[in-house]
Amino acid sequence: MEIFADADEACAGLAAEIAALIRANDAAGRKTVLGLATGSSPVRLYRELARLHREAKLSFRNVVTFNLDEYYGLSRTHPESYWRFMHEQLFDHLDIPAANVNVPDGTVARSEVFAACQSYEQKIRDAGGIDLQILGIGRTGHVGFNEPGSGRDSRTRLVTLDAITRRDAARDFQGEDHVPRHAITMGVGTILEARRIALLAWGEGKARVVAEAVEKPPTESLPASFLQGHAAVRFLVDAAAASELTRAKHPWLVGSIAWTPEITRRAVVWLAHAVEKPVLKLLDEHYSEHGMADLLTEQGPAYGLNIRIFNELQHTITGWPGGKPNADDRHRPERAVPHPKRVVVFSPEPSDDVLGMGGTLRRLVEQGHDVSVVYQTSGSLAVPDEEAVMAAEFVLELTQQGGAGENPEVAFAREVRRQLEAKTAFDGDTAEIRRLKAIIRRGEARAALKVTGVDPARAHFLDLPFYEQGRYRQFRIGRADVDIVARLLARIQPHQIFATGQLDDPNSVAATCFEIVRRAVASLAGENWQADCRTWLYRGADKAWDVAEIEMAVPFSPDELATKIQAIYHHKSQRSQSPVEAGRGEVWQQAGQRNRETARLYDRLGLADYEAIEAFQRHVFSERHPEA
Ligand code: F6R
């Protein structure tokens, strides 16, 4: 397991290794055989390899590649085919001969699949076997498309995709219904025959499965765990993807450690959960029986330690997220002055703001702060076509009723409706369709803001170009993205910034938006306002902070939580598109549950019993990679 500061750093190192391997093989007159994966995880590796080809004259003439898998039923030209993905992401940017590229064929007839899989395996053997296999890992624990149930000795074959895998691909396919049900994949046994393996995983979404893959005994129910038996396998992960490993999460369970204040707090909170006691009722023996005897020796006895941690937790709670004016703020998360504060809330897509901190937004407004909400992207990629059709027809109907002639708005609506009718399931949206979808999301965002009390004039819709010009998994930050955010920050000069996305998959919208904020702040380093500005991180609906990580906890009454949910509810286009999906839970329900759970955890630790809590962590922007 190798833990890196970020995916870029890991990918730069791995690409350099691949380059060295290719050069050594070239010098010895041998071909290099690479096993490749698709998906988000290797995107940065492929960009780096393309750069090495372009700038460092790394040739791929003698490289042979085998991709892990392909969706069954998709032709090469399908926008979501892995063949196409690999060409767009990598092969089109290299000098690799077309004949050296192998991707399973998703279009072979059922009756010929077995033979096609056999011959794929034969081809790998004929090439001399795979020198280095690149892998990602799915939330189900799959490698390739070897879903739970795949045996250690499985070979290249047709498989059925797991429901979770299909759900994870829904955004790419504009709806789960369009995601293929089957795929052809190299087997676990095929993968294990590679001489070296490098598995890449980024973002907290992978944390649990990474920990299970390396810490649990190998099992078919988590096929990536079979990699443990390989002699030359490496896991390359970022800190977020490593966060559930025992050594990262509970380091005191694996050996003696330095008890920093942060780890001490984490350990005491963990112990309280483990023995199901409030912090103030933890006894010396609880500590000793759970591998924390040395903590007691250093900082005990238990009661004194308990009180200290209890107070720390207590001091994270505040009803004044912007600071309490005229109060002693030595033990409060935010400073009292200045009051009011200029607050900037960054929302990667419209709705992230209310999902993550709708209650706090409202509180900040009520407490007199000057709150601006910055919607970084239009969010148009996430609007179903049906919503856009309704909007276009609404305009047409309205103008017909009013007897309006063919003004530009009518012409626009008519054109969008025509384009939507002509659009087949996997076509990307035209500029006009995206514009209409963006308008839908703006309307929803304004309706939601109204509930929070934010002045609509302080809603900024940036429609950042990286998103307008990009596709999921393939976003690239440009100078314009950073400049737009930097200009806004320089103008507002905030005392408080709220942001999210720092722990997400680096190719996601949220993480890309966070990186843009980071670079924008770095580009303004030294401006006076920065010395007096604090940044707070919030989280989306799918994951809450662990209590020990929270540095500001803002509690809410049942009514206030209901109001927050009302705000989220206004993001109509983001609700489930079918009763089946809705049955799995709507995002507004999840957001409410998260906030209730956080409150329950505080209660169990012996703190006050609130209905709901929104939580934040303080963040200091680092100076790394200031370039755009
Ligand atoms: C892709 C593949 C899959 C992915 C995995 C992770 O060829 O075989 O196993 O590696 O689903 O996907 P991302 O990287 O998109 O999170």
Instruction: Tell me the C-alpha distance between 58 and 626, whole Å.
Output: 27
- Residue 236's pLDDT is 98
State whether residue 122 is helix, strand or coil: helix
Written as six digits, the tokens of 114 are 């077995």
Q: Is 195 left (phi over 0), alpha (psi -120 to 50) or beta?
A: alpha
pLDDT confidence of 229, banded at 50, 70, 90?
Answer: very high
537 contacts 499 by C-beta, under 8 angstroms: yes
- Unique residue bearing structure tokens 């995601």: 179
- Which amino acid makes up residue 526? G
Phi, psi of 152 (to 5 degrees): -60, -30
pLDDT (mean) for 98-118: 98
Expressed in angstroms and rounded, the spacing between residue 169 Cα and the centre of ligand 1 is 10
Instruction: List 534's β-bridge partners, or say none.
Output: 496
Share of the chain above pLDDT 90, in %: 86
pLDDT (mean) for 189-213: 97
- Residue 585's pLDDT is 82
Q: Which of 48, 147, 560, 586 is catalytic?
A: 147
- Residue 516's pLDDT is 98
220 contacts 139 by C-beta, under 8 angstroms: no
Instruction: Tell me the C-alpha distance between 269 and 288, whole Å.
Output: 15
Instruction: Tell me the C-alpha distance between 105 and 83, whole Å.
Output: 8
Degrees to nearest 5, angle at CA 449 with 476 and 488? 45
Instruction: Tell me the C-alpha distance between 242 and 254, whole Å.
Output: 15
Contacts of 45 (CB under 8 A, 6+ apart): 11, 14, 15, 134, 200
Instruction: Tell me the C-alpha distance between 486 and 503, whole Å.
Output: 22
Q: Is-catalytic flag, 147?
A: yes
- Which amino acid makes up residue 369? H
> Using CA positions, which residue lies closest to atom 1 of ligand 1?
38
- Residue 628's pLDDT is 41
Expressed in angstroms and rounded, the spacing between residue 149 Cα and the centre of ligand 1 is 17
Which atom of ligand 1 approaches the CA of 41 most closely?
14
Ranking 14-28, 33-47, 159-173, 184-198 by mean pLDDT, the lowest is 159-173
Which atom of ligand 1 approaches the CA of 67 most closely?
7
389 contacts 478 by C-beta, under 8 angstroms: no
Instruction: Tell me the C-alpha distance between 325 and 343, whole Å.
Output: 15
Q: What does the buried/exposed string (b/e) look like for 255-282 if buried means 16 or more CB atoms within 10 Å of the residue's CB?
A: eeeebeeebbbbbbbbbbeeeebebeeb
Which atom of ligand 1 approaches the CA of 142 most closely?
9
573 contacts 441 by C-beta, under 8 angstroms: yes
Instruction: Tell me the C-alpha distance between 241 and 273, whole Å.
Output: 23
> Is the pLDDT confidence value at 404 over 80?
no
Instruction: Tell me the C-alpha distance between 339 and 319, whole Å.
Output: 15
> Is the pLDDT confidence value at 302 over 90?
yes
- Residue 626's pLDDT is 45
* Residue 307: its H or E element: helix 302-316
pLDDT confidence of 25, banded at 50, 70, 90?
Answer: very high
> Is the pLDDT confidence value at 607 over 90?
yes
Which atom of ligand 1 approaches the CA of 505 most closely?
16
Instruction: Tell me the C-alpha distance between 60 and 53, whole Å.
Output: 8
Expressed in angstroms and rounded, the spacing between residue 241 Cα and the centre of ligand 1 is 15
- Residue 623's pLDDT is 62
86 contacts 69 by C-beta, under 8 angstroms: no
- 172-177 CB contacts, 8 Å cutoff, 24+ apart: 172/80, 172/472, 172/473, 173/80, 173/425, 173/426, 174/384, 174/385, 174/425, 174/426, 175/384, 175/577, 176/581
- Residue 291's pLDDT is 87
The model's pLDDT over 485-525, given as tens digits with 9 standing for 90+, comes to 999 999 999 999 999 999 999 999 999 999 999 999 999 99
* Residue 555: its H or E element: strand 552-556
How far are the Cα atoms of 130, 205, 207, 225 from residue 137, in angstroms, in the given order? 19, 11, 11, 11
- Unique residue bearing structure tokens 């393939």: 474
- Residue 471's pLDDT is 85
Phi, psi of 122 (to 5 degrees): -60, -40
- Residue 399's pLDDT is 77
- Residue 343's pLDDT is 98
pLDDT (mean) for 176-201: 96
Instruction: Tell me the C-alpha distance between 184 and 66, whole Å.
Output: 13
Instruction: Tell me the C-alpha distance between 516 and 228, whole Å.
Output: 37
pLDDT (mean) for 579-602: 89
Ranking 166-175, 373-382, 619-628 by mean pLDDT, the lowest is 619-628
> Using CA positions, which residue lies closest to atom 3 of ligand 1?
144
Instruction: Tell me the C-alpha distance between 613 and 593, whole Å.
Output: 10
Chain centroid to Cα 484, Å, comes to: 23
- Residue 403's pLDDT is 60
pLDDT (mean) for 80-104: 97
pLDDT (mean) for 214-219: 97
pLDDT confidence of 402, banded at 50, 70, 90?
Answer: low
Written as six digits, the tokens of 138 are 């799915």
pLDDT confidence of 214, banded at 50, 70, 90?
Answer: very high
Expressed in angstroms and rounded, the spacing between residue 624 Cα and the centre of ligand 1 is 28
Instruction: Tell me the C-alpha distance between 345 and 337, whole Å.
Output: 19
Strand order in the sheet with 342-347: 459-461, 370-375, 342-347, 496-499, 534-537, 612-619, 552-556
| Residue to mutate, 36, 142, 162, 182, ligand 1, most ligand atoms under 8 Å from C-beta | 142
The model's pLDDT over 426-480, given as tens digits with 9 standing for 90+, comes to 778 899 999 999 999 999 999 999 999 999 899 999 999 999 998 888 899 999 9
- Residue 239's pLDDT is 95
Please give the sequence-ordered ranges of beta strands (E in DSSP) within 48-155, or none if there are none.
63-67, 69-71, 101-102, 132-135
- Unique residue bearing structure tokens 């190192």: 13
> Is the pLDDT confidence value at 188 over 80?
yes
- Helices 479-492, 509-523: axis angle to 10 degrees equals 60
The model's pLDDT over 265-293, given as tens digits with 9 standing for 90+, comes to 999 999 999 999 999 999 999 999 998 99
Instruction: Tell me the C-alpha distance between 199 and 42, whole Å.
Output: 9
For the CA atoms of 285, 288, 290, 295, the dihedral, rounded to the nearest 10 degrees, stands at 120
Share of the chain above pLDDT 70, in %: 98
- Residue 428's pLDDT is 80
- Provide DSSP, 169-208: TTTTTTSGGGS-SEEEE--HHHHHTSSEEEEEE-SGGGHH
Nearest to 239 by CA among 3, 446, 569: 3
Instruction: Tell me the C-alpha distance between 12 and 382, whole Å.
Output: 31
Which residues form ligand 1's pocket by a CB distance below 6 Å? 37-41, 68-69, 136-138, 142-145
pLDDT (mean) for 352-380: 98
Q: What is the mean pLDDT of the chain?
A: 94
500 contacts 348 by C-beta, under 8 angstroms: yes
> Is the pLDDT confidence value at 50 over 60?
yes
| Residue to mutate, 41, 185, 204, ligand 1, most ligand atoms under 8 Å from C-beta | 41
pLDDT (mean) for 514-538: 96
Expressed in angstroms and rounded, the spacing between residue 114 Cα and the centre of ligand 1 is 23
State whether residue 154 is helix, strand or coil: coil
Instruction: Tell me the C-alpha distance between 138 and 135, whole Å.
Output: 10
The model's pLDDT over 64-77, given as tens digits with 9 standing for 90+, comes to 999 999 999 999 99
> Is the pLDDT confidence value at 576 over 50?
yes
- Residue 543's pLDDT is 82
> Is the pLDDT confidence value at 122 over 50?
yes
